[in-house]
Structure 1
């Protein structure tokens, strides 16, 4: 029993760094996007709309699919950039892109009536708001 007590006494939870928290929030947001889209495939008529070349209310054109790709690539890349950029660039990238994606997530909810999608959207907005907050509160070191 003393062995277990000794092992648990040495296990500590060090604070997660700001960069790790930001990367985790971008990761969570990407997972939320994926699962919201997967569940959307089960909405009545969704697959028919897809086979008719529609992406929501928009036609699935090269331009609209490229735009959607860019919108998904940026958060994926931010997972890496959040742990690799220097503090100043990291802070501003997260504030600017967190704000942009908060607006994107809000716009995705306009006219939405499905409860599951509203829930995903609210949690996505919470993630981007936390990204902004953590980046904004980044400690400034005196030179």
Structure 2
């Protein structure tokens, strides 16, 4: 007797968006972690330098913290915010982070570019998923 087909139990749009932001954060973390293996990176960090941004001033570190906090918060906010606010937050931040990723792609090492390409794929998928958010049926 053949087994019945698997049930399609796809997650809701808010859950899909939360999962995409979680994937993006994982890519960010691992790309930054592997970058520490490049010669001179640890020495620059110990000297208070933060890559192309220069000196790790309070202002620079606050900017970096906010840049990383937003996608981390979007993991929860994508599922917790009301649908209209969640949809447009995902579109706006998806576009913003796609632009940031394009800037980090330019001139970076091949391993970094590979991961950034996946990051861009994820943020474009965030935008596409949010824009295709299903509407209530009448």
The answer to whether 1:105 aligns with 2:120 is no
Deviations 1:65-118 (A, max 9, x none): 110000111001100011111111111000001001001111111221x11100
What 5-or-longer segments of structure 1 have no aligned partner?
none
Match of 1:73 in 2: 69
C-alpha displacement at 1:134, in angstroms? 0.3
Q: 1 CA distance for matches of 2:4 and 2:32?
A: 44
Number of residue pairs the alignment of both structures matches: 137
Q: What SS does structure 1 have at the residue aligned with 2:37?
A: coil
C-alpha displacement at 1:142, in angstroms? 5.4
C-alpha displacement at 1:12, in angstroms? 2.5
TM-score, with normalisation over the residues of structure 1? 0.89
Q: 1 CA distance for matches of 2:5 and 2:27?
A: 35
TM-score, with normalisation over the residues of structure 2? 0.92
Q: 1 CA distance for matches of 2:36 and 2:68?
A: 18
Q: Which has the larger radius of gyration?
A: 1
C-alpha displacement at 1:16, in angstroms? 1.4
The answer to whether 1:137 aligns with 2:129 is no
Match of 1:53 in 2: 48
Question: How do 1:1-143 residues align onto structure 2 when only pairs under 5 Å count?
Answer: 9=4, 12-57=7-52, 58-112=54-108, 114-141=109-136
Q: What SS does structure 2 have at the residue aligned with 1:43?
A: coil
Q: 2 CA distance for matches of 1:90 and 1:107?
A: 25
